[in-house]
Structure 1
Amino acid sequence: MNLNPPSFSRFRHDGLELAFFDEGNPSGEPVLLIHGFASSATVNWVHPGWLKTLGDAGYRVIAIDNRGHGRSDKPHDPARYRPPLMADDAAALLDHLGIPYAHVMGYSMGARITAFLALAHPNRVRSVVFGGLGLGMVDGVGDWDPIASALLAPSLDDVSHERGRMFRAFADQTKSDRQALAACIMTSRELLTASEMSRIDAPALVAVGTTDDLAGSPQALAELMPHARAVDIPGRDHMLSVGDRVFKKAVLEFYSEFDGR
């Protein structure tokens, strides 16, 4: 399996240079992938095999490096990381590529961005997949303020908060701009109301690991939307769910329902 990073291109939006890749079958159904916090298009979608899985299935696979992440510009102002702004980045990428609408899949923070995209630009979204985020989309996912402190600490040795240590270690591993990530985590957790979720009428799949203690119930989130279903990813936590074969199989089956439509 070739999991090497593909070639990235760049486009400008909202005063920022944003990076993306556009791979797979150029004449296939487009799937836009939006990664999670402290990750990147490569870490979230290439290394776990999603680019290969979707490309082999005949899809055009597009993935953005969210602002503050990967190869994209990294402002240090928390006001630049509100989810509606990042959702507009995704819509602008579709504009840049001349794509009228796409299947959109987001993981964790990317799932939240996908929800904001579906609300602000419903005509651009053929379907949505929310990975790694269930009812936490509405109820919140606990206290994340220690994450910002952990990211700004002099070193991992100075961090005692368990979740803070996890994300600091991940940020160090991916050689991320920790100041940009700290700014992002301060403002990117904007919640949606149950009423807002009920307005997302695109077909939806919600997939969460059964040992994920961050996401909240996928069933409870799916019940808020008119055309949604939930999938449990057995025995997987927040970090390990993203590349799981159950998750991939569920997404391919979900997308197959659109064939010929």
Structure 2
Amino acid sequence: MPRFKSGDVELAYEVAGNGPPVLCIHGFASSGKVNWIDTGWMETLTVAGYQPITLDNRGHGQSDKPHDPEDYYPAQMAEDALALLDHLGITRAAVLGYSMGARIAAFLAYDHPERVVAAIFGGMGMNLINGLTDGNDIIAGLRAPNLADLTHPTARQFRIFAEHTGSDREALAACMETSRQPMARADVRRIEVPVLVAVGEADEMAGPPQPLAELLPHGEAFVIPKRDHMRATGDRAFKAAALEFLGKTFPVVAV
């Protein structure tokens, strides 16, 4: 994977296609490959005429993995995304984020609206504002000596996922400490770009999508049928809704 520098951190990314750019920001404990390539998103966007760009967030995938929680605030990770756009010479892009990636996308859209054409918040509803209640349990689960000792279901789920992807569990624990920083309700109201809020019908981690969409000046909600937080990522209905939204807000222009 090609790499670039964002401050003192070196990050990995991939680019496909030649159309309007869509920056894809993955969720916690995932990577660009796991979140966007393995689920078919990169292929879906490329076939639709877009240029998907995947980023391995700091602490994840093939990017650098600092162990200091001060390195993982969402506004700081949004600056990584902006640095990638600068590195690629991209002035404006749509942003597709899932879970933690949606939180990063929200901070990017708030801090740099001139660079974001439209945003899709997947797997992130009102908990963008309310925060993540299971965060401390997830941290403890990542740092626990053995998986067998864990009883908290969400902690077990993320520990298993982290081990499956061969992640640096201490880097992920540091990331969880600060990347879950809530966005102020007043700041959500100031996100001026069009936003699609897409959350699984059975998602207990994201919070409901409709109230968040109503707070956004140009928000709309989509419920991903019969999906929980983990299984909604590559869902066909989610992809179809995203493409319809991009078609309205960031259309591919036929040559």
TM-score after normalising by structure 1 = 0.95
1:244 aligns with 2:240: no
The corresponding residue for 2:223 is: 232
1:158 to 138, 149, 166: 149
Tell which has more relative contact order, 1 or 2 (C-alpha 8 A, sep 6+).
2
The runs of at least 4 consecutive aligned structure 1 residues that moved more than 4 Å come to none
SS of 1:182 mapped into structure 2? helix
Q: Distance in 2 between matches of 1:43 and 1:91?
A: 22
Query: What secondary structure, in the 3-state scheme, does the structure 1 residue paired with 2:233 have?
Result: helix
Identical aligned pairs, as a percentage?
Answer: 55
Q: How many residues align?
A: 252
Query: Which residue identity lines up with residue 89 of structure 2 in the other structure?
Result: G
Equivalent residue letter for 1:254? F
Partner of 2:37: 46
Secondary structure of 1:69's partner? coil
Separation in 1 of the partners of 2:212 and 2:247? 23
Using the TM superposition, give the Cα deviation of residue 137 of structure 1 relative to its aligned residue in structure 2, in angstroms: 0.3
Write the distance in 2 (CA, Å) between the matches of 1:166 and 1:215.
15
- The separation in 2 between residues aligned to 1:31 and 1:51, in whole angstroms, is 10
Aligned equivalents of 1:19, 1:155: Cα separation in 2: 30
2:16 corresponds to 1:23? yes
- Aligned equivalents of 2:158 and 2:62: distance in 1? 19
Whether the aligned pair in 1 keeps the contact of 2:200 and 2:232 (CA below 8 Å) is yes
Cα pair 2:50 2:252 within 8 Å, conserved: no
Q: Deviations over 1:86-126 (max 9, x none)?
A: 00000000000000010001000000000000111111100
Aligned-residue offset at 1:188: 0.6
- Match for residue 251 of structure 2? 259
Task: Say yes or no: does 1:184 pair with 2:175.
Answer: yes
Cross-structure match for 1:66: 57
Runs of 5+ in structure 1 lacking a partner? Answer: 1-7
- Listed one character per residue, the Cα deviations across residues 162-208 of structure 1 (whole Å, up to 9, x for unaligned) are 11000000000000000000000011111112110011110110000
CA distance in 2, matches of 1:143, 1:55: 35
1:93 matched to which residue of 2?
84
In 2, Cα distance between equivalents of 1:146 and 1:226: 34
Select the residue among 184, 189, 192 that pairs with 1:193: 184
Measured in 2, the distance between the counterparts of 1:137 and 1:50 equals 23
